[in-house]
């Protein structure tokens, strides 16, 4: 399974403590029964997750726990090197901008 928002709440993730606290969901939500069957929830007891109510540090911890297994560290490090080179090039360009009379 890929790193998706719905996969994030899977039973495996719930047991490892990487899911936000749930609250009672809307009864009669039309998509709940299918979601519940797919991810191992009780179709008779809808739940929902209020991620905007989480503290920023807790939200960051949950997101990192969910995506870390899917990160290719080699690719990430190569991208970071490219971005740092781009920042240096932009900084050099901006440093030369004022010297060339480009500021007002």
Q: Pick 45 or 19 by higher pLDDT.
A: 45
Neighbours of 86 (CB within 10 A): 10
- CA dist 10 and 34 (Å) reads 13
Over the stretch 42-82, which tens digit does the pLDDT of each residue have? 999 898 888 888 899 998 998 999 999 999 999 999 999 99
Q: Check if the beta carbon of residue 79 is closer than 8 Å to that of residue 69.
A: no
User: pLDDT category, 3, cuts 50, 70, 90?
Assistant: very low
What 3-state class would DSSP assign to 8? helix
Range from 3-7, 25-29, 50-54, 81-85 that averages highest in pLDDT: 81-85
Q: What band does 20 get if pLDDT is binned at 50, 70 and 90?
A: low
Evaluate the CA torsion angle 83, 85, 86, 87 in order and state its sign: positive
Contact (Cβ atoms closer than 8 angstroms) between residue 18 and residue 62:
yes
């Amino acid at each position: 399974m890929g790193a998706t928002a719905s996969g994030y709440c899977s039973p495996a993730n719930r047991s490892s403590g990487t899911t936000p606290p749930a609250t009672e969901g809307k009864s009669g939500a039309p998509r709940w029964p299918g979601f519940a069957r797919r991810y191992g929830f009780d179709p008779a007891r809808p739940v929902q997750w209020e991620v905007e109510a989480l503290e920023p540090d807790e939200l960051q911890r949950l997101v990192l726990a969910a995506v870390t297994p899917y990160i290719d560290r080699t690719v990430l490090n190569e991208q970071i090197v490219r971005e740092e080179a781009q920042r240096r090039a932009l900084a050099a360009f901006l440093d030369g901008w004022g010297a060339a009379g480009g500021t007002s």
